[in-house]
């Protein structure tokens, strides 16, 4: 007997009935680049459609995000001054802290997540304190706790450390609990690879290292089992959400985490993944919208409960249009 699996593909309605995964607006987080200064609205050349905004120019973008009902934003700050240790990260009047207060005052329903790291704030572009031409893990943890508390005091709804220092989650959890922020969740960049896909982000955030690379703290792309170890440490130390970054080249890692942990799994659809689709679409080599939606669906299908993506606004519009037609 022939197994006629095509019977359940015959019409759109039967395909809808048996569809295993569905991308929704509820899945999406939209990253925002907030730059210190005034009258700044600058498109990032390597990320068409994505801009750096000063706070006096951000409202139009936030109006669109909230109108599309995207539930959350992830904030990256671009300061006007940098130093060796990134002291602006724990300045209570720093750019991210100001952005948190602005958004919570004017867009109170929008969930505000902050990136907790140092690379945008250090003169050398690395993710912490430099000793002997490498990042000093434990010295960086001290400053990480300061930055975390500063974001919490400003009103962040969630903090997300991206530096891949050993002991990050327990350091932040203890700092938050000891200052009364025991209800503030942490989304760990638990499995973050040293990836070539970050190139456009470093243009966007002025965060490229001035020497060396980040291979001593970000993971080797060849390693899968190590990802499980890293995620296990974050789980044990108190992370509320585990993240995989990048997403598209690491769908196997997303599935590993989904199969082995009871926590929500996030995936970061990074700048290089975004830029490739935009470039190919602009040249007419692909159907940009279809490839974008297929990419996001693949991340969801792999096991991501949350997708951080620069495509969030475009995807939300397409999802809404489809829901209206249906």
Q: Is residue 22 among the annotated active site residues?
A: no
Pairing relationship of beta strands 130-131 and 187-192 according to DSSP bridges: unpaired
> What does the alpha-carbon distance between residue 214 and residue 202 come to, in Å, rounded to a whole number?
13
Question: Which is nearest to 274 in space by CA: 256, 296, 243?
Answer: 296
Q: Is residue 109 among the annotated active site residues?
A: no
Q: Kindly write down the DSSP assignment for every residue of 140-207, as one continuous string.
A: HHHHHHHHHHHHHHHT-SEEEE-S--TTHHHHHHHHHHHTT-TT--BEEEEEEB--GGGHHHHHHHT-
R_g of the chain, CA atoms, integer Å: 20
Catalytic residue, chosen from 22, 82, 98, 245, is: 245
Residues facing 31 on adjacent strands: 74
> What does the alpha-carbon distance between residue 278 and residue 47 come to, in Å, rounded to a whole number?
8
> What does the alpha-carbon distance between residue 311 and residue 91 come to, in Å, rounded to a whole number?
31
Catalytic residue, chosen from 57, 82, 192, 300, is: 192
> What does the alpha-carbon distance between residue 218 and residue 235 come to, in Å, rounded to a whole number?
18
> What does the alpha-carbon distance between residue 212 and residue 123 come to, in Å, rounded to a whole number?
14
Catalytic positions are 192, 245
């Amino acid at each position: 007997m022939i197994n006629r699996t095509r019977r359940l593909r015959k019409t759109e309605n039967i395909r809808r009935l048996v569809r295993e995964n569905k991308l929704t607006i509820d899945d999406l987080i939209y990253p925002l680049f907030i730059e210190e200064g005034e009258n700044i609205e600058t498109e990032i050349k390597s990320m068409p459609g994505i801009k750096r905004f000063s706070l006096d120019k951000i409202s139009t973008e936030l109006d669109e995000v909230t109108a599309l009902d995207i539930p959350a934003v992830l904030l990256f700050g671009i300061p006007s001054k940098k130093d060796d240790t990134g002291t602006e990260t724990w300045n209570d009047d720093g750019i991210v802290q100001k952005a948190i207060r602005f958004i919570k005052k004017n867009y109170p329903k929008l969930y505000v997540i902050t990136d907790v790291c140092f690379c945008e704030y250090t003169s050398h572009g690395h993710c912490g304190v430099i000793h002997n031409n490498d990042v000093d893990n434990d010295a960086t943890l001290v400053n990480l706790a300061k930055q975390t508390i500063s974001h919490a005091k400003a009103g962040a709804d969630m903090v997300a450390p991206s530096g891949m220092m050993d002991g990050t989650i327990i350091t932040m959890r203890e700092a938050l609990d000891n200052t009364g922020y025991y209800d503030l969740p942490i989304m760990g960049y638990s499995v973050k690879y040293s990836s070539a896909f970050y190139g456009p982000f470093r243009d966007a955030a002025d965060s490229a290292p001035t020497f060396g690379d980040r291979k001593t703290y970000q993971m080797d792309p060849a390693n899968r089992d190590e990802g499980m170890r890293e995620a296990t440490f974050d789980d044990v130390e108190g992370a509320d959400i585990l993240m995989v970054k990048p997403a598209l080249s690491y769908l196997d890692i997303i599935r590993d985490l989904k199969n082995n942990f009871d926590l929500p799994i996030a995936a970061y659809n990074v700048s290089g993944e975004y830029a490739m689709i935009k470039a190919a679409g602009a040249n007419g080599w692909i159907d940009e919208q279809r490839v974008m939606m297929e990419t996001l669906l693949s991340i969801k299908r792999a096991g991501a409960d949350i997708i951080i993506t620069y495509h969030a606004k475009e995807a939300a519009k397409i999802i809404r249009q489809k829901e209206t037609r249906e």
